[in-house]
Structure 1
């Protein structure tokens, strides 16, 4: 369960929290984040995936099509608005597994032709390799502007497969090696819920990558992105306006200060805009059918806002 009501019912999470967009449970003014600049526009290409991970942030799976495949025409509608009215530098593609969307390669090419950097999140498995020729052609045309980030939850086969299913490690490695061998701008996304320090994780990933001859600096947070734990059952404090000063955190550093995500709900006539990559099912947080409508400030009225972004320091983009 990923909607706000399910989060509120989760064991350990105070049911009085995250109810009122303006006021926290203790009566304080809830924090909000203004759109400072739209640097990254995300497209969720659909929640269908070839894997069903234990702790997937948005419950992607081979059967979850709550977000249907985003059509090329809808993606280009938003790209046209982006070209006209915004100064974004990056378009990100996430899922599900983006390479399963039959329109994905055309979307990716459109973003690159328009001059944007393109960031693709993938598990680097068979869906990607089925499009290897097309993907390589785009790399040859656009070089470093095409960035592929591979999800590797841990640097060991055992823990990676614990999250992603038996055999996932061995199905990921050929794609990872192919990307590296063909000179793609490459990064890796790992997870931090292993009760292991960040230094230890970076050292472990560094050993793993070096052993495969992949020259990726695991100490660089842009090349190895480590996402914070997202335990939906754990209690988390609400973020008030006073928290910015207490935590010494700037609202402008939050993901929703610089990005938005386009989603297409199953059966909906058109795509709409969500505040970030973590809240695709929250209809109460939906921001409209255009990027102009999505300029509004975001009230931090969801546990993920506190857990992942404010307290966890997480961001899906490094634009």
Structure 2
């Protein structure tokens, strides 16, 4: 059965941060408590995917490499202000292209925090094998590697990423499993029209065949993310939607997370409301975590489709 066609986004929508196109009050999300700090290590990546929401590639350096010294300042702010941060997540681009990543991970983990790295598990990760093994020995399961595997078959995965990338990602996964790292996997929901149950069953077979210790039925161990298309027509989220949908604003990512980025040419990093909207200036909240603690208007299609209606979250 063919996938249903989406209508193009109504240009009147998502224009005003306070009201919707129908004149209703737009929903906002207050920061209930900063539990997850995301760090974008830079948009450069060793591959170019067909549908990368952040447009990472070997040439896109719109977000520059963040340094260990720059992250250290935010970690010091967390400690000084006794912020309730539990985990620091690293995303990109490919985080392992940033040479400061091992130092950043050690700074995070040595403070008793958890660390999560989103990686394609290809050659850049393996270049840091010795540093990773040392971190595993020192901090054990407080370090998690979440490997991107769009589908459980090479055909669809390679169609999205590049030919041969499935085999290379599995080689990296195999190494992580053999060496006893804590592993999660991130895939795509309904990829190729496949139902979630069938997708999880396919991943389960793959993991069992290769001895990869990931529970495919656990939505955290295997996260299947909904598709993101900012041009598809989605409803705007109003204050009335919380009651209609039976959903709490505290369940959204921006109620408990912020992301640090370093824009190309910028003198200092900035703090954003969301990992999904790195280029939209309305979601840049300041230069410190304190400045970024203000409420976030849900003024983007991703807020509606990915978070409120899709129920997705980038952390546990």
> In the alignment, what sits opposite 2:78?
82
> In the alignment, what sits opposite 1:6?
none
SS of the aligned residue for 1:287 comes to strand
> In the alignment, what sits opposite 1:49?
45
Question: In the TM superposition, what whole-angstrom CA distance separates every residue of 1:208-237 from its partner, at most 9, and x where no partner exists?
Answer: 110101122100111101111112331111
Deviation for aligned residue 1:309: 0.2
> In the alignment, what sits opposite 2:189?
192
> In the alignment, what sits opposite 2:179?
182
Q: How does 1:41-190 map to 2 (within 5 A)?
A: 41-85=37-81, 86-190=83-187
Deviation for aligned residue 1:174: 1.2
- Whether 2:262 is the aligned partner of 1:274: answer no
Which of 248, 251, 258 is matched with 1:250 structurally? 248
Deviates most, 226-235 or 287-296: 226-235
Structure 2: segments with no counterpart, 5+ residues: 1-5
> In the alignment, what sits opposite 1:7?
none
- Counterparts of 1:215 and 1:128, CA distance in 2: 19
Question: In the TM superposition, what whole-angstrom CA distance separates every residue of 1:116-161 from its partner, at most 9, and x where no partner exists?
Answer: 1000000000000000011011001100100110000000000000
Question: In the TM superposition, what whole-angstrom CA distance separates every residue of 1:183-214 from its partner, at most 9, and x where no partner exists?
Answer: 11100000014211111111110001101011
- Counterparts of 2:312 and 2:55, CA distance in 1: 18
SS of the aligned residue for 2:282 comes to helix
CA contact (8 A) 2:144 2:182 kept: yes
- Counterparts of 2:175 and 2:268, CA distance in 1: 36
> In the alignment, what sits opposite 2:29?
33
- Counterparts of 1:269 and 1:52, CA distance in 2: 28
Question: In the TM superposition, what whole-angstrom CA distance separates every residue of 1:25-71 from its partner, at most 9, and x where no partner exists?
Answer: 00000000000111100000000000111111211110010000011
Deviation for aligned residue 1:11: 7.3
Question: In the TM superposition, what whole-angstrom CA distance separates every residue of 1:277-308 from its partner, at most 9, and x where no partner exists?
Answer: 10111112200000000110000001110111
> In the alignment, what sits opposite 2:3?
none
- Counterparts of 1:311 and 1:122, CA distance in 2: 26
- Whether 2:290 is the aligned partner of 1:289: answer no
- TM-score, with length taken from structure 2: 0.96
Which of 4, 11, 18 is matched with 1:15 structurally? 11
- Detail structure 1 runs of 4+ shifted over 2 Å in the superposition: none
SS of the aligned residue for 2:285 comes to coil
> In the alignment, what sits opposite 2:227?
229
SS of the aligned residue for 1:277 comes to coil
SS of the aligned residue for 2:286 comes to coil
Deviation for aligned residue 1:247: 0.9
SS of the aligned residue for 1:229 comes to coil
- Counterparts of 1:262 and 1:131, CA distance in 2: 23
- Counterparts of 1:179 and 1:297, CA distance in 2: 39
